[in-house]
Structure formats: C-alpha cells, structure tokens
Structure 1
Amino acid sequence: MIDVAAQISDGRLASLTICGHAAPKGAAGYEVCVAASVLAQGMVKALKALKAADFTLGKAKGDFVFRVTGVRDVTKYDVITAGFLAALKDLAAESPDYMNFNERRS
C-alpha cells in the first residue's frame, strides 16, 4: 500500500511524504507505484526547471519526503503543485486497493 501525506499550509503545499509500495514488480498494482513515482519526480523537475521554489528532498528508508523552504514564484508554484496534487488524488481514487491519500490543512 502506498500512503501519501500532504500538508497544506496557508493554502499551499508545505510538505509531502510518499511511503510504501503498492506491489512488487510485475504484480497487480505495480503500475500505481510507477505512476506515483513519475508524478513526484515530474513535480520536482518542474519546480527546479522553473525555479519556482526552494525545497529539501529526502528518501528516508525509500520514502519520498518533500519539504518547501521558500516559494520564489507563487503563481508557478501554485500551478505546478495543484496539478500534481490533483493527479495524485485521482490516482488514489482510481486505485483504492493500492494507495491512500491524506491531506492536512493548517
């Protein structure tokens, strides 16, 4: 099972953690792991390419851990992260046996 935890602060993505795996390679659900990974990597690459934000990125025990340390371009950041979060939410809704999505707002 993939567990996604998004922290939204002041209406913006502040941190994101993606933990676990849906299934081993070749098994049913493996494509959900691949999709979540591609989405996360795409968000990071877009933020870097457009210099929209400063952030830390870690992989503790294989988990994807993203934390924003500063937003440089609010519009670009909001568009990129909103699209990414919408895609992750849709993936979780379409794959409830393989992925959970939790969002906390503060």
Structure 2
Amino acid sequence: MDDKFLIHVEIAGKSYGIRIDRSEEQVAREAVRQIRKKMDQYRKKYSEVDVKDLLAMVTFQLSVENLKLEDKNDTSPFTEKIQELTDKLESYLKDK
C-alpha cells in the first residue's frame, strides 16, 4: 500500500507540492518552518539581498549543520573497534 500523500509547503513566497510518506509529514513541515526562520534571520541581517541569495545562504548553513551532525553521529570507529576486540576475544577463547 502506498502511504504517500501530497502536502503543499511555501518557501520564499512560492508554493510547492511535495509527495511524502505520511510518517514524514511532521519532519517535512518542521523543515519548512526552519527554512522560513533562517530566511527571516538573513533577511533582517541582509535586507538588500535577493531571495535566491537568501535561499543559497540558508542552504549552505543547513548543509554545514547537517554535515556536522553526520560526523558527530558516525559510529564506524566504534564499530571497527568493537569488531577488533571481538576478534581478539574469540582468538583468545580458541587458544584456551
């Protein structure tokens, strides 16, 4: 069963129809609120800047924040260390 549906969001004065999973609606709407908030922050700071430039600045800022979170949540070093310790433990137990 297709659980996707159409929502309409407004970003920078333009309406967009987006087909999303129902389970992602809250996240999608929160993303729009976050974009609007950041647009307003930049608009206050740079009143003479074009909307496209504001969107570019918001996109850049959100991408940097996203990359920082990805690095922060990277569990691969821990997974590798756990595997290394597991291998050592198994080797030790085999020798016993």
TM-score normalised by structure 2 residue count: 0.36
TM-score normalised by structure 1 residue count: 0.34
More strand by share: 1
Larger radius of gyration: 2
More helix by share: 2
